[in-house]
Amino acid sequence: MNRFLASVALVLAAASFPAGGTTAETFIDARSYPTPAAGRERFLALETRLVRGFDEVCGDTFCEGEYHNLQSLRFRCSVNAADGGVEECVWTFTGSTAQVDGSSGRIIVDARSWACPVPLAARTPLPILLQALEQDDPLHVRLPGTTTSLYEGLTGCL
């Protein structure tokens, strides 16, 4: 009986680990780097500045077209959990148009969403990216290791 219990315990222990033998994730949300407590506040402050910057330029640029009510949804980045190198950032938006169908009285809605990749240099360290974007006008600052800005990235997406 003891051998059976030992065998069951060994099988359960082995099954609790992924094939690589570790439970650590390679990539995590930037809000959790270097720790959830430290990363969350800094990243949320950045997202607030980005939304404010987008709202300031939207009326004269992105919001002049068919989707005049564009709204920022979320700015997310994935980072390497071991060293904080940014793998990817995406900024999501939504917008809609609505019109009345004159013959039926129905409202015709066209709602869309966009996932705009941020034009980052490969493996940009998250602290460097955050520092660069913690300026008064984060949309127009040159992204570290590149010759482009978030604004320029959005023009190719929205």
How many CB atoms sit inside 10 A of residue 126's CB?
22
Query: What angle, 0 to 180 degrees and rounded to 10, lies between the N-to-C axes of helices 126-133 and 36-58?
Result: 40
Q: Would residue 90 count as lying in a domain?
A: yes
Q: Could you tell me the residue range of the domain that residue 40 belongs to?
A: 27-155
Q: Would residue 86 count as lying in a domain?
A: yes
Can you give the pLDDT of all 158 residues of the chain as single tens digits?
545 444 434 434 444 444 544 557 899 999 999 999 889 999 999 999 999 999 999 988 998 888 999 999 999 999 999 999 999 999 999 999 999 999 999 999 999 999 999 999 999 999 999 999 999 899 999 999 999 999 999 999 99
Model pTM score: 0.81
Q: Which phi and psi angles does 77 have, rounded to 5°?
A: -135, 145
pLDDT at 23: 59
Q: Would residue 77 count as lying in a domain?
A: yes
Decide if 93 contacts 71 (C-beta within 8 A).
yes
d(CA 105, CA 127): 53
Q: Would residue 43 count as lying in a domain?
A: yes
Q: Would residue 6 count as lying in a domain?
A: no
Q: Would residue 21 count as lying in a domain?
A: no
Q: Would residue 22 count as lying in a domain?
A: no
Q: Would residue 18 count as lying in a domain?
A: no
Overall number of domains in the chain: 1
Peptide bond into 34 cis (omega under 30): yes
